[in-house]
Structure 1
Amino acid sequence: MKLNAKSLLSLFLITWVVFSSVLFILNAHKYIGSNYFESSNFEMTKEDFKQQLGRYVLQPFDEKKAKESITVTQEEIDFHRNYYGTLSEQVANIREQYSDRILQADESGDAQLKEILIAERDAKIEDIKENFSDDKHVEEKIRKQKEQLIEKFAKEEKLAAKEFLNNYGYFSYNLVNVDTGEHFDSGNSNVTIFSEKYGNQKPYFTVNNYFYVGSDGNYDSVTLINQMEFNYETVQFEGSISIPKSMLNATQFGTEYKSFTVAKIIFYSIWATGILTIIALFTIAKPSFKNFNFSSRLKEWFLRVPIDVRIVIVLTSALFAYALIDSMSNLISNVTYYYNLTNYVVDVLFNFILLFISITIVVLGVVWIKECLSNAQKFKQEFKQAFLYRLADGIQDLFLNRSIGIQSVIIMVITFLSGIGFAGSMLDGGLLLVYVVLLFFIGLPALIIFLRRMGYLNLIMKQTKDMAEGRLTTPIKVKGKSPLANHAENLNHLREGVRKSLTEQAKSERLKTELITNVSHDLRTPLTSIITYTDLLKNPNLSEEERNKYIDVLDKKSARLKTLIEDLFEVSKMASGNIELNKQRIDLTQLMQQAVGEHEEAFRDANLDLRITKPDVPLYANVDGQKWWRVLDNLVVNALKYSLEGTRVYMTLTQKGMDAEFTVKNIAKYELGENVEELTERFKRADTSRHTDGSGLGLAIAQSIVDMHNGRLKIDVDGDLFKVTITVPVS
C-alpha cells in the first residue's frame, strides 16, 4: 500500500487542525470578545499619549518661572571660584598662556598685537581677581549659566512638543483644569470611534510633571552647574480624550486599526474552519492507522535510522512546525503592513507548505515508531541499535580501565608492526595487498590518533607552564573523554581555584583597607566634634544658652561614638563566635509588628509610604528574640535611611514551605554598585559619600545573626530597586 489521495487528505486535515488550534492558543486572548481599543498595543499608545499630553500641553515647562526660581549656593560659588586652582595658581596660569604669544609679537615687531594680547591677559587676570573678591560677581556668572541651560532645555521641550503633535495628531482632547478652569481643546469635535472621559464621578486626568534640567553631567569651563530639578504640583483635569472617526485613515493609527480588524476576521475564519475540520476528522474523513502505515522508500530509509535519531527527527519537526505557525500568526496579525498582496500570499503559502511537510513527518514518524515498538522483542532490538546505546557501549569498551600510557603503547605497537609489514611486503609481493589494506584501515588511523594525543599532551604541558608562571586567563580546552581530557579538566579546576583564591585575596586586602579607613573616619568624626565643643565650653564668657547648646551637641556625639563602638564590638564578637543564643519559640508576626511600629512615624516624616504584608495567624520560629528583633530593626532602619523620598517601602512576612521569609523592598536614594555581596561587609554602605549617620555595620550584624540561626540573607539589586530577603526555619 502506498500514499494515496485519502491519506494526503487526512494529513492536510490534521495539519489544518494543528494550525488552527495553535493559532487559537496564541491569539484567542487578543481577539475573542475584544476590539482594537482593548488591545495592549492601543493601551500603550493611549498611555504614552496621555503622558506626553500632560508634559507638553497641559502642564508644559515654564521657562520664565524656572529662571525666577534659580538659586545659587555658597558651595557653587566656591566651586566655580576654585575650579582652576587658587588665585595665585590661576593668575600664573594666565600669564604663562600669554607669555609666549606676547614674546612672539614683540620679536616680530607687531606692537599692536602685543598691546591687544597684554590687554586681553590683564582683563582675564582682573576677572579672576574679582572672582575671589566678590561673591556677587561669581553668582551672576553662575546664574547666567543656569539661565542658558534653562533656555536650551525650553527649546528642546518645544521641539519635542511639535514632534508629539505630529505623532499623535489622530487623538483629540477637550480638558478643563479643575482648579483654574483653564480649557484645553484640540478643536476636533467630529464623530468619535473612541472616547475616554475623566471627572464627573470618574477618575480625573492627573498630571504631575518633573523636569530635570542639566548639562551632560561633566563640569567644564563653560558649564559648572550640572543639574536643576523642577517638580510641579499635581494638577487634575476633567473632560475627555477621543479619536475622531475621520482619523481612521491616519498613517499609524489607521494601519494598526485596520490590521487588527482584518486579522480578527482572518483568525475567526481559520478557527471556524478548524472546528469544521475537527468534526470532519471524527466523522466523514476519519483517518485510520492503515492510511499512514504504507510501504515506501521513505519508510525503509526512516526505519534504518536508529530509534533515538528517529525520535529527534520527529521532535525537531514538531518544534519547526510550531515556529512556522508562530511566524504565520505574526504574518496574519500584520497583514495590512504588507505593501504587496502577492508577496504576502506567497509567503503564507510557502510557510503552510513547510508546515504541511513538518506535520506529515511528525504523523508518519509517530505511526512508524509505534509500529517498531509494538512488542517487547522489537523494543529490545531497537534499543540495542540505538545510536546513544552503541556510542555508550563503544566508549565503555574502548576507554574503560585504560590509561593514556597503555593506549599510547598500543598505538605505537600498531605503528611498529606496520613498519615490519612494509618490510615484509617488499620481500614478498603477495603480502603487499594485505599490507596496503591494513595500513590504510589500521596503521594510518592509529598514527593519526597517536599524533593527535601527543599534540594534545604538548598543548596541556604548554598551558600548564603558563599557569605555573601566573597566566591564568585561558582555560585548557577539554577534548573528548580520554584520561588526558580528564587531566585537562582537573587542571582547569585547579586554575579556577587559584584564580578565585587570588581574587578573594585581593578583595580581602581591599576590604581590609576600606575597613581601616572607614573605622578611622567614623570614629574620628564624632571624636573631633567632642574635642572641639569641649574646648568651646572652656570659654568662661559663654552664655547659658550657648553652653546648653554645646552640651547637647556633646551628648549627641558621645551617643553616636558609643553606638559605633558597641556595634563594632558586637560584630567582632559574632565574627569570633564568642556569643550565645537564647532561643525561644517566638511569634515572628508580632515581632515584625513591634519592629516596624517603632519607626512608623519616622517613615511618615521621611515622606515614605510604608506597605506591610503579614500573616493573619501567628508564625512561630525558634530564635533568640532579642537578636532577631535586632535583625528586623536593622533592616527597617536601613530602608528608612536609604529609601528615595516619596517612594514606597514594602515589608512582607510570609511562610514558604518550612521557612519564614521576611522581605524589605525599596527604591534606593543613592546609586548602588554592582558588588551587592559587599554590602554585608563591615562599614560597607550603599551611601558611598557617607551622608547618613549609620555605622555601616547594620547589614553585617544582620548577616551574622541570621547565619547563627541557620538562616539565609540575600540581597538583590535591579537598577535602583534594593531588596533584602531573610529566611529562617519555622518551628
Structure 2
Amino acid sequence: MPPPDLAEIGVLALVCSVPVVLFGALIIRLARSWSLAVSMVVLVLIPVVATFTGVLGASGFMITETFEKIALVLIIVSVVTMPAAVIFARYQARRTVWEQEIRDAERYAEQSRRKLVAFVSHDLRTPLAGIRAVAEAIADGLVSEHEVREHAKHIEQESIRLSEMVDDLFEMSKINAGAVTPSSTLVALDEVVDDVVSAHRIAAERSGVDLQASLPAAPVKVLGSDRALVRVLSNLVANAIAHTPSGGTVKLALGSDERGAWARVDDTGVGIDDADLARVFDVAYRGSNGRVPRTDSSLPSGSGLGLAIAAGLVQAHHGTLSAHNLDTGARFEVRLPLAASA
C-alpha cells in the first residue's frame, strides 16, 4: 500500500482536529461561570489536543516512532504551558480588577468635582451678591448714617460665611483627592468633646437648644488628629443644632465597647426623611424636609458640605459614620478603633 500524499495527510489532519476545536469552543461558550484561570487552561488544552488528534489522524491512527516523539513533545508543552496559563490568567484577572477600580475612582472623582463646581456656582454666588448689593448701596449714598453700622455687620456676617464655605471646599477637595492623612498621635476623645461643646454653647443658646454632653468615667483614647476629630464632631453638632427647634435638645455622648470607641450626636429635631438616609453624606446634601427656621441671620446656615467632610475625615481615621432616625430626631454615630494603650 503506497503512503498517503500530502493532500490526504492534510485532509485527515483537518477531519480529526476541527471537531476538537469546535467542541472546545462550545465548552468555552457554555462554561461562562468558570474562573479566568480554568478558562485559560482549557484554551491552552484545545490547540494541544487538536494538534495531537490531527497528527494521529495524519499517521493513519498508527502509533509510529515519529508519532511517539510528537506526542512526547505535546505532553511537555502542555506541562509547561498550563501552569503558565494559570499564572497569566490570575495576573490578568488582578489587572482587570485594578483597572476597574481605577476607572471607578476616576469616575467618582469626576462626579465629585462636578458637584463641587455646581456647589460653588450656586452657593457662593448668594453671599457675594448680598455683599455687593449692600456695598453699592453704601457707596451710592442710599444708606443713612445710622444704618451703616447695621449693613456693615451684614457684610461681616456674609464674609464669615464665605470664608467658612471656602474652608469647607478646600477640605472637601483634599478628601476627594485622597490627600487627608491624619497624624497618629494619641487623642483623648473626652477632651475633643469638651472643645466641641464649648465652641457651640453660644450658638445653641441663641437657637434655644439645650446642648448636653455625656462622658464616661475613664478617658476614651484613639489614634489620629485631634483637629480633624474636633471638626468631625463640630460639624455633626452644628448640623444637629440647625435641625433642632427652639426648646429641643442636642446631646453629644461618648463611650467605648468591644467594637471600639463611639461618639453619638442625638437631637430632638425634624429627623431625616427615609428617602434621604442613603445620601445624607453626599456633597451639598441639605435634605428635603427643610431646616428649622431661624430668626437670627447670624447663626450658621451650613455649607452643605459638613456631613460629607465629617464622613471623609472619619474614613481617613479608619472609622465609620452612620445616621438613622430616633423616635424623635436623628442620631449620628462615629465609630473609631481604640488606641492600643486605651
Aligned to 1:607: 208
- Report the residue type matching 1:726 in the other structure: V
After TM superposition, the structure 1 stretch with the greater mean CA deviation from structure 2, 542-551 or 669-678, is 669-678
Aligned to 2:249: 648
- Report the residue type matching 1:595 in the other structure: V
- 1:485-527 deviations in Å (ceiling 9; x for gaps): 879xxxxxxxxx9xxxxxx999999877655443322101001
- Report the residue type matching 1:695 in the other structure: S
- Report the residue type matching 1:648 in the other structure: T
Aligned to 1:696: 304
- Report the residue type matching 1:694 in the other structure: G
CA contact (8 A) 2:271 2:329 kept: no
Matches within 5 A, 1:408-447: none
C-alpha displacement at 1:658, in angstroms?
A: 5.6
C-alpha displacement at 1:687, in angstroms?
A: 5.4
Residue 159 (structure 2) pairs with residue 558 (structure 1): yes
Residue 121 (structure 2) pairs with residue 520 (structure 1): yes
Aligned to 2:266: 665
- 1:597-651 deviations in Å (ceiling 9; x for gaps): 3323433443334443221121222221111111111111111111244333332
Aligned to 1:727: 335
CA contact (8 A) 2:261 2:336 kept: yes
Residue 275 (structure 2) pairs with residue 674 (structure 1): yes
Q: Please give the alpha-carbon distance, in whole angstroms, between the structure 2 residues aligned to 1:689 and 1:505.
A: 32
2:273 is paired with a residue whose SS is coil
Q: Please give the alpha-carbon distance, in whole angstroms, between the structure 1 residues aligned to 2:107 and 2:142.
A: 55
Select which of 308, 324, 331 maps to 1:716. Answer: 324
- Report the residue type matching 1:596 in the other structure: V
- Report the residue type matching 1:711 in the other structure: G
Matches within 5 A, 1:609-624: 609-624=210-225
- 1:662-692 deviations in Å (ceiling 9; x for gaps): 0112244365242423221221112565777
- Report the residue type matching 1:730 in the other structure: L
CA contact (8 A) 2:181 2:316 kept: no
Select which of 632, 638, 643 maps to 2:239. Answer: 638
Residue 132 (structure 2) pairs with residue 531 (structure 1): yes
Q: Please give the alpha-carbon distance, in whole angstroms, between the structure 2 residues aligned to 1:564 and 1:607.
A: 25
The root-mean-square deviation of aligned C-alpha atoms, in Å, is: 3.9
Residue 229 (structure 2) pairs with residue 628 (structure 1): yes
Q: Please give the alpha-carbon distance, in whole angstroms, between the structure 1 residues aligned to 2:181 and 2:197.
A: 26
- Report the residue type matching 1:708 in the other structure: A
CA contact (8 A) 2:285 2:304 kept: yes
Q: Higher Cα Rg: structure 1 or 2?
A: 1
Q: Please give the alpha-carbon distance, in whole angstroms, between the structure 1 residues aligned to 2:285 and 2:221.
A: 32
- 1:302-353 deviations in Å (ceiling 9; x for gaps): xxxxxxxxxxxxxxxxxxxxxxxxxxxxxxxxxxxxxxxxxxxxxxxxxxxx
Flag structure 1 segments of 5+ consecutive residues without an equivalent: 1-408, 410-453, 462-482, 488-496, 498-503
- 1:4-28 deviations in Å (ceiling 9; x for gaps): xxxxxxxxxxxxxxxxxxxxxxxxx
Q: Please give the alpha-carbon distance, in whole angstroms, between the structure 2 residues aligned to 1:510 and 1:689.
A: 25
Q: Please give the alpha-carbon distance, in whole angstroms, between the structure 1 residues aligned to 2:116 and 2:181.
A: 26
Structure 1 pair 675–530 and aligned structure 2 pair: CA distance change class (3 A): same
CA contact (8 A) 1:519 1:683 kept: no
Matches within 5 A, 1:523-602: 523-540=124-141, 542-602=143-203
C-alpha displacement at 1:539, in angstroms?
A: 2.0
Structure 1 pair 571–688 and aligned structure 2 pair: CA distance change class (3 A): farther
- 1:204-231 deviations in Å (ceiling 9; x for gaps): xxxxxxxxxxxxxxxxxxxxxxxxxxxx
CA contact (8 A) 1:666 1:721 kept: yes
CA contact (8 A) 1:672 1:719 kept: no
- Report the residue type matching 1:592 in the other structure: V
1:685 is paired with a residue whose SS is coil
Structure 1 pair 531–725 and aligned structure 2 pair: CA distance change class (3 A): same
CA contact (8 A) 2:186 2:223 kept: yes
Matches within 5 A, 1:288-437: none
Structure 1 pair 571–541 and aligned structure 2 pair: CA distance change class (3 A): closer
> Identity across aligned pairs (percent)?
26
- Report the residue type matching 2:253 in the other structure: T
- Give the count of matched residue pairs: 248
- Report the residue type matching 1:558 in the other structure: S
Structure 1 pair 511–668 and aligned structure 2 pair: CA distance change class (3 A): farther
Q: Please give the alpha-carbon distance, in whole angstroms, between the structure 1 residues aligned to 2:142 and 2:268.
A: 49
Aligned to 2:315: 707
C-alpha displacement at 1:564, in angstroms?
A: 0.8
CA contact (8 A) 1:671 1:720 kept: no
With CA pairs under 8 Å and 6+ residues apart, which has the higher RCO, 1 or 2?
A: 2
Aligned to 1:424: none
Q: What is the TM-score of this pair, normalised by structure 2?
A: 0.60
- Report the residue type matching 2:244 in the other structure: S
Structure 1 pair 534–679 and aligned structure 2 pair: CA distance change class (3 A): same
C-alpha displacement at 1:571, in angstroms?
A: 0.9
Structure 1 pair 550–604 and aligned structure 2 pair: CA distance change class (3 A): closer
CA contact (8 A) 1:586 1:621 kept: yes
Q: Greater helix share, 1 or 2? A: 1
CA contact (8 A) 1:670 1:686 kept: no
2:334 is paired with a residue whose SS is strand
Flag structure 2 segments of 5+ consecutive residues without an equivalent: 1-22, 36-96, 98-104, 294-299
